[in-house]
Amino acid sequence: MKKKIWHLIILNTCILSLFTNAQNPVFSQILINKSYLNPAYAGYSGDLTFDMQSRIQWFRVPSYFLSNAFAINGGCNANRLGFSLQGLSDLRGEGFLQNHRITGAVSVNLPGYTSRKLKNKFLRDRKTIVSTGLAIGVGQRFLNWDRLLFTDQLDHYLGIVRNSSLVNPQNVVSNVIVDLSAGSRMKMEISDKGSNISAGFAMFHINRPVETFFYSENRLPIRYTGHVFLHLQTEKYVNNAQFLTIGWVGNYQQEMQTNIVLLMRDFNSGFMLGGGFRSERIYLLGKTIDSIVLQFNLRQGDVIINYSLDFTVSSLGVHRTFGTHELGISYLMSGYNMCGMFYKRNKRAKTDCFFLYDDLMKKSNFILIQP
Domains and CATH numbers, the chain: 2-369 (2.40.160.40)
Half-sphere exposure (CA, 13 Å, Cβ side) for 224? 7
Q: How much is the pTM?
A: 0.82
CB-CB contact of 224 with 254 (8 Å): no
Q: What is the pLDDT of residue 102?
A: 96
Q: How far apart are CA 180 and CA 194, in angstroms?
A: 35
**Phi and psi angles of residue 331, each rounded to the nearest 5 degrees, phi first:** -125, 125
For residue 183, give every residue at least 6 positions away whose Cβ sits within 8 Å of its Cβ, in sequence order, or none.
38, 39, 40, 41, 132, 133, 200, 201, 202, 203, 225
What distances in angstroms separate CA 365 from CA 56, 237, 300, 344, 369, one per listed residue? 27, 15, 9, 24, 9
Q: What is the pLDDT of residue 164?
A: 73
Q: How far apart are CA 101 and CA 68, in angstroms?
A: 11
Q: What is the pLDDT of residue 317?
A: 60
For the chain, which residues score pLDDT lower than 50? 1-22, 341-343, 346-363
Q: What is the pLDDT of residue 350?
A: 39
- What tens digit of pLDDT does each residue of 171-207 get? 788 889 999 999 999 988 887 777 888 999 999 999 9
Please name the helix (run of DSSP H) or strand (run of DSSP E) that holds residue 280, with its range, or none.
Answer: strand 271-282
Q: What is the pLDDT of residue 50?
A: 92
Q: What is the pLDDT of residue 363?
A: 44
Q: What is the pLDDT of residue 216?
A: 75
In total, the chain counts a number of residues equal to: 371
Q: What is the pLDDT of residue 354?
A: 45
Q: What is the pLDDT of residue 321?
A: 66
